[in-house]
């Protein structure tokens, strides 16, 4: 069953650790000393949101960014009764007027569903509810229960028409959790740029996005979490500027029962947590919304199919970590990723694209 003590410790660890994925390079004694800075840590979208900005308008950029993330949560959370997503789920067959923001995210979720042949599916809600992973009601459902709700997991039952959307079948429940955090991070970047803030990072539950360089002029150093250990333990470092780094792994939300590990990344076809021999997949690209969806898709597809999928998309790179602790990099990351974990093996020279 769920380790409740571990769950209670999680929030505490999140507060004291700047980021499980982000290592901030130290500034020189004089470098950046006179630059205004602002930061905030808030619990939004069911996760810890951490932001830091450096520049003349840093404070207003951080404040506005946090408010924007709350607005997105209010629109797209499936657990808030008044949200637009909840209104869609609670009124099957009826078109619900939605905001431009929700319209965009739903449209993008359908795009990635088509692109991945259903490996990413915004109608995964019934499976999420059945397993209850991340709640005190987490359990292993029976095969019969899974088969019963799989009838409702089909993104073709979600329709969007201009500023309206609906599910066409009672029992279908959409869940934008696999893409909404990425959209929120992209919105933060626009706010930061609007206020001419030259240096900032945002971490929304592991969805990391950096703007510009670090305050000392160097690139941001992004640490990739060791998937076997707690937050703050990294196994690789990537230097980055104006990019997003998003990781999907089997260690973020999970429970154990009878010696089995059950995580929250579901295969929409089977209704079970994806079993592909992977511990995590990290996507590095420009748009956090894309990275959010792509990390899930690549994880569910597995190493070979996932790598082929990523290599076919321009300006997207990925790092796969297998259960054997082998690290596989897409072609664009060769020579860029620094492996710091002594137990990990960097596998180079493989080509899954053929």
Residue 343 resides in a domain: no
| Phi, psi torsion values for 239, nearest 5 degrees | -85, 135
CB 264 within 8 A of CB 133: yes
Does 296 count as an annotated binding residue? yes
Residue 141 resides in a domain: yes
pLDDT for res 11: 38
Does 292 count as an annotated binding residue? yes
CATH code, 151 = 1.10.3980.10
Residue 281 resides in a domain: no
d(CA 341, CA 44): 31
Per DSSP, the residues of 202-242 read: EEETTEEEEESS-TTSSPEEEEEE-TTS-TT-EEEEEEESS
- Across-strand partners of 273? 266
Does 259 count as an annotated binding residue? no
Residue 190 resides in a domain: no
Structural domain that includes position 158 = 74-167
Residue 99 resides in a domain: yes
**Long-range contact set of residues 64-69: C-beta below 8 Å, sequence gap at least 24:** 64/191, 64/195, 65/187, 65/188, 65/191, 65/192, 65/202, 66/40, 66/42, 68/184, 68/187, 68/188, 68/191, 69/44, 69/45, 69/184, 69/187, 69/188, 69/204
Residue 236 resides in a domain: no
Distance of CA 107 to the CA centre of its chain: 18
Residue 54 resides in a domain: no
Q: Which residues contact 58 (CB under 8 A, 6 or more apart)?
A: 36, 37, 38, 197, 200
Q: Is 30 exposed, middle or buried (0-12, 13-18, 19+ CB in 10 A)?
A: exposed
pLDDT for res 254: 83
Distances, alpha carbon 187 to alpha carbons 169, 200, 210, 287, in Å: 32, 13, 12, 10
pLDDT for res 14: 37
pLDDT for res 352: 67
- Mean pLDDT per block of 10 residues along the chain (354 residues) reads 38 36 38 79 94 97 98 96 97 98 98 97 97 92 97 97 96 96 98 98 94 94 89 90 95 85 94 96 97 98 97 96 96 90 86 62
Residue 12 resides in a domain: no
Domain count, the chain: 1
């Amino acid at each position: 069953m769920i380790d409740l003590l571990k769950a209670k410790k999680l929030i505490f660890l999140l507060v004291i650790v700047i980021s499980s994925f982000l290592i901030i390079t130290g500034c020189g004694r004089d470098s950046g000393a006179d630059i205004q800075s602002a930061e905030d840590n808030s619990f939004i979208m069911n996760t810890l949101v951490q932001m830091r900005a450096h520049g003349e308008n840093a404070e207003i950029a951080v404040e506005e960014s946090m408010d924007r993330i709350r607005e997105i949560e209010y629109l797209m959370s499936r657990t808030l009764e008044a949200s637009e997503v909840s209104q869609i789920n609670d009124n099957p067959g009826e078109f619900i007027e939605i905001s431009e923001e929700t319209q965009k995210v739903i449209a993008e979720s359908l795009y990635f569903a088509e692109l991945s042949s259903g490996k990413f599916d915004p109608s995964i809600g019934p499976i999420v509810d059945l397993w209850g992973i991340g709640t005190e009601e987490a359990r292993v459902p029976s095969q019969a229960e899974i088969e019963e709700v799989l009838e409702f997991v089909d993104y073709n039952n979600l329709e969007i028409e201009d500023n309206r959307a609906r599910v066409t079948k009672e029992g279908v429940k959409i869940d934008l959790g696999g893409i909404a955090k990425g959209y929120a991070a992209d919105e933060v970047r626009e706010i930061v740029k609007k206020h001419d803030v030259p240096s900032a990072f945002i971490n929304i539950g592991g969805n990391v996005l950096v703007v510009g360089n670090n305050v000392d002029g160097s690139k941001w150093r992004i640490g990739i979490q060791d998937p076997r250990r707690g937050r703050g333990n990294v196994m690789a470092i990537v230097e980055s500027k104006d990019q997003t780094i998003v990781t999907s792994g089997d260690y973020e939300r999970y429970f154990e029962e009878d010696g089995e590990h059950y995580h929250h990344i579901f295969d929409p076809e089977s209704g079970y947590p994806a079993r592909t021999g992977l511990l995590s997949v990290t996507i590095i690209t420009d748009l956090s919304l894309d990275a959010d969806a792509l990390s899930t898709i690549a994880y569910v597809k597995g190493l070979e199919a996932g790598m082929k999928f990523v290599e076919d998309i321009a300006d997207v790179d990925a790092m796969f970590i297998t259960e054997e602790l082998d690290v596989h990099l897409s072609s664009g990351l060769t020579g860029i990723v620094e492996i710091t974990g002594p137990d990990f093996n960097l596998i180079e020279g493989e080509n899954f694209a053929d």
